Structures are given as C-alpha cells and as structure tokens.
Copies of this chain bind each other. A is one copy, B any other.
Amino acid sequence: MKITVAKRAGFCFGVKRAVKIAFDMASLKQGVYTLGPIIHNPQVVEKLEQKGVYSIEEPSINTKSVIIRTHGIPIEMFNKVSQIGIEVIDATCPFVKKAQEYAKLLRDQGYQVIILGDKDHPEVKSIMSYAGEKVIVTRDGTELKKPNNDNENKLNKKIGIVVQTTQPVEALRKLLCNLVEKAKEMKVFNTICNSTSLRQKETSELCEKVDLMIVVGGKNSANTTQLANLCQSTGVKTYHIETKLELQENWLENVTSIGITAGASTPDWIINEIIERINFIGG
C-alpha cells in the first residue's frame, strides 16, 4: 500500500499560533476561556478542556481571561468583553485580521462591502462586523442585482470585495465573473490565505495519482469540508474522517495507493494515527 500525505496537510500558521497561545495560557493561568471553539477541531478542543480551558459563548462572572478564537469575533463582542474588564488574549489569525481591516477600510472609503463566504461561519461574522450596514455576504454573487434594480440584493455602484480566508480561488473567480457587469467600480482584496490555496492545489494534484483520498479534519471545519468536496469533484473515491476510529477496513479493498490531506485545523498526531492504522490494516 502506497500512502502519500499532501505536503501542506494540517495546521496552518494561524492555527498553530492560536493553539500554542491557548496551551501556553492553560499552563499559566486559571479562569481562561475561549470565545467559541479556538479552532474547528473537536479533538484539539477536547485536549484543551483536559487542561481546563473551556469554550464559552458569552463571558460570565467567573471569566477572568478570554482567548479570541482563530476565526476572530465580531467587534461588538470584542468591545463588550474589553469594557467589562476581562483580559483579552487575541489569537485571531493575522490573515483574518487583515480581512477585517480591509473590510473596515473599504467601508470608510465609501464602498459597499461584499464578503465572499459562508454567512454562518464565525470568520465571516467577525469580518461582517467591520464592514458597515450595507454589507452583503454571498457565495457567488448570482443573486445580486445591478444598482438600478430595486430589490433587497441591490448593489451600490462602488463595491469592495473581501474573501473568507479559506475560500477556494475558483469561488472568487466566479464571484468576479458574476459582478463584472453589475458594478461600475470594484475594489478587490484577495484575502484568501496562501496556505489555503496551496493546500487545495496540492490536494487536486494528489487526487490524480491515487485510488482513494482520506480527508482528515473536523466535520465542523469549513476548509476541511471544502477539501473533501474538491476531492470528490475530481471523481476519486473520498472519505472525510475526524479520527482513526472512523476508518473502515473494507475501504482499502482493491486499493493500492492512498492520498491523505487534512484541513488547516487538523493536528499532526491525528494524521499520524490514521497513517499507522492504514499501515496496520494494509500490512
């Protein structure tokens, strides 16, 4: 059995940084919480809980310090937490911070901000809070209408675009193709992080060479789910799993080569356990 692991599988820079901050805090202080899960990986979140760092939705009377998750939080929540005197440790991914800053800049320059992404994703919610009242979140811009149209998805003449950092570049291409005739002026910040686009590119290439793809990462992780969708779209048989426990022996029947990739929030130890398990079954 030949196993190939994508070079950029697993933790990206921003996740590595946030997880380190959280574990460092766990050993330094008590009464530390994360506002929402620090990253979208249930196994890492569980390890942090074992160290006494829990995820909360809102700070309570017992909260002394909060760590801002890698996806960032809305500015209103940030201000609220700061104002009530809770210590704020900011583990927002620096690339997400950049997207927030660009959203604010576009708003200040009079652009209607369009965010390409998933409106329910915490990163998008955080960027939205900087983007002004006219902000629109879209997946590809199809539903948006020209300025002279009278409906709720009406665009302004000047639109500014920022992108959820983990979106595929194809989504941005599609958005621009859809908006090019609808807006007279577009200012576009391509805030897709390099590690996301490289990981997706490598994953596509790997799909061409193997019989089976295993995509490892949280079921609640958008970028991992996107990797799984990407693999499936190439036609290769694909399974998205969180841990070795989900791996089934019959998946490996008649398979001679396996590719493994993992989302930005998947720790190495989970990937390694899966490789060991495949070798055990295959051997």
- Mark out the residues of chain A between 156 and 177 whose CB falls within 8 Å of any chain B CB in the assembled complex: 169, 172-173, 176-177
Does A187 belong to the interface (CB within 8 Å)? yes
Of the candidates A173, A185, A188, the one having the most CB atoms from chain B within 10 angstroms of its own CB is: A188
Set B181, B189, B197: member contacting A169, Cβ < 8 A? B181
- How many chain copies does the complex carry? 2
Does A252 belong to the interface (CB within 8 Å)? no
Set B169, B177, B185, B190: member contacting A188, Cβ < 8 A? B185
Interface string of A176-215 (1 = CB under 8 A from B): 1100110111111110000001000000000000000000
Q: Given the complex of chains A and B, what is the CA–CA distance between A190 and B186 in angstroms? A: 8
Q: Is the CB of B185 within 8 A of A180?
A: no
* Chain B positions within 8 Å of A188 at CB level: 180, 185-188
Q: Given the complex of chains A and B, what is the CA–CA distance between A181 and B180 in angstroms? A: 17
Q: Given the complex of chains A and B, what is the CA–CA distance between A189 and B188 in angstroms? A: 11
Q: Given the complex of chains A and B, what is the CA–CA distance between A21 and B177 in angstroms? A: 38
CB distance from A222 to the nearest CB of B (A): 20
**From DSSP, what is the main secondary structure of chain A's interface residues?**
mixed
* Chain B positions within 8 Å of A186 at CB level: 186-188, 190
Q: Given the complex of chains A and B, what is the CA–CA distance between A180 and B172 in angstroms? A: 8
- Mark out the residues of chain A between 39 and 93 whose CB falls within 8 Å of any chain B CB in the assembled complex: none
Select from chain B the residue with minimum beta-carbon distance to A161: B186
Identify the A interface with B (CB < 8 A): 169, 172-173, 176-177, 180-181, 183-190, 197
Given contacts A184-B189, A185-B188, A186-B187, 20 further A-B contacts (CB under 8 A): A169-B180, A172-B180, A173-B176, A173-B177, A173-B180, A176-B176, A176-B180, A177-B177, A180-B188, A181-B190, A181-B197, A183-B190, A184-B190, A185-B187, A185-B190, A186-B186, A186-B190, A187-B187, A187-B188, A188-B188
Give me 11 A-to-B residue pairs in the complex whose CB atoms sit less than 8 angstroms apart, sorted by A's number: A169-B181, A173-B176, A181-B190, A181-B197, A185-B187, A185-B188, A185-B190, A186-B186, A186-B188, A187-B187, A187-B188
